[in-house]
Amino acid sequence: MIIVVIPAYKPGEGLLQVTSGILEQTKYSVLVVDDGSGEAYVPVFEKLPGQVTVLRHDVNQGKGAALKTAYKYIAQHAEYTGIITADADGQHLVRDIICVGEALTAKPDTLILGSRKFVGKVPARSRFGNTLTRFIFRISAGAKVYDTQTGLRAFGSQWIREMLEIKGQRYEYEMNVLLYCARKKIAIREIPIQTVYEDNNSGSHFHPVRDSVKIYGVILKFVSSSIAAFAIDFLLVLLVRYLTRGLGESLSLLISVVGARTASSLCNYYMNRRFVFAQGTKTSIVKYYGVAVALLLLNYGILWVCNVALPIPLAAAKILAEVLLYPLSFILQRRFVFTGE
């Protein structure tokens, strides 16, 4: 049996329409989580069909928290074999919810996404936001998902325990789910759905600054970690090069690059394991230094060409090398070092 989960915060008529449509056109159960909407919205929830199960948060906790509340409830009811999540603002048509449910029935071990194509009249912030998160997800996870922000998703109940353990209380939770599935090699399948925006998406409770920071948190933390490591590396390269200037240009440059990178990489590894990716195994440091050695050789090669062969001032050459190698460093660490395996 499939159950449709709808987290709702200060919902409008769209919630009533989608729940009624699901019950009329399918045999699915419906679970709505009132995420602290307040007394003013009690009449909306009271209008829901009697078959709808309603769970409540006393205060707003965020979409991720609302989904987890629903998952805890479902985990206690063994009759549910599949879960569909949908939004409360009318963006998801009943026929698309049915299509996602059928795809889940056919492939119960797959995360199914209702994927919007963003054609026609789409709010600029929605089009830009999805383009940005699509790009970030691609470089973060090494997997291609067109609609990373869709709330219409489906998965088998066997994944509930994992879904409860994934971090995130608000909109970042949905990105974290995608990252988790990519890391664990859980298949992701996208089903085309219609792009619907009611009143220019005014019913969305997405906070552009707060929620974007949370969604892009891994990238932002990696940037901070990299800046700190770069500062150490940059200063040490210049210092050691000055101290070893009598050894010849090539040898002095080699000692400077290796010495500086050894110190900065220790700092970078600790920060990435502890604060950025928040995971790693006993072998992660071995894999990290395998990646670090490869990047060091590339770094030295770029610096030699720029500073010795051309020559370009060492400080400028160092900045150029780091800019060129930064994306590669993130991708390699995300995919091969801090995988959680």
What domains, with CATH codes, occur in the chain? 2-215 (3.90.550.10), 219-337 (no CATH)
pLDDT of residue 6: 96
pLDDT at residue number 246: 86
pLDDT tens for each residue of 311-340? 888 888 888 888 888 778 877 877 777 665
Find, among 190, 157, 191, 151, the residue nearest to 171 by Cα: 151
The string of pLDDT tens digits covering residues 126-135 is 566 667 777 7
Q: Which residues are CB-neighbours of 29 under 8 A, at least 6 positions away?
A: 1, 2, 3, 4, 51, 53, 80
- Which range has highest mean pLDDT (64-78, 131-145, 227-241)? 64-78
Look at 40-49, 59-68, 259-268 and tell me which has the smallest mean pLDDT: 259-268
Closest CA to 78 of 181, 160, 6: 160
What mean pLDDT is predicted for residues 159-178? 88
pLDDT at residue 178, as a whole number? 86
Instruction: Compute the Cα dihedral for 142, 148, 151, 152 and give only its sign.
Output: negative
Average pLDDT over residues 228-247: 88
pTM of structure:
0.66
pLDDT averaged over every residue in the chain: 83
| Spatial contact of 125 and 50, defined as CB atoms under 8 Å apart | no
Helices (H), 199-274: 208-215, 217-243, 249-271
Structure tokens at 279: 């995971």
Radius of gyration of the chain (CA): 25
Cα–Cα distances in angstroms (integers) from residue 307 to residues 3, 114, 246, 327, 333, in the given order: 63, 51, 16, 22, 28
> Per-residue pLDDT tens for 111-163?
999 988 755 555 555 566 667 777 767 766 667 888 888 889 999 999 999 99
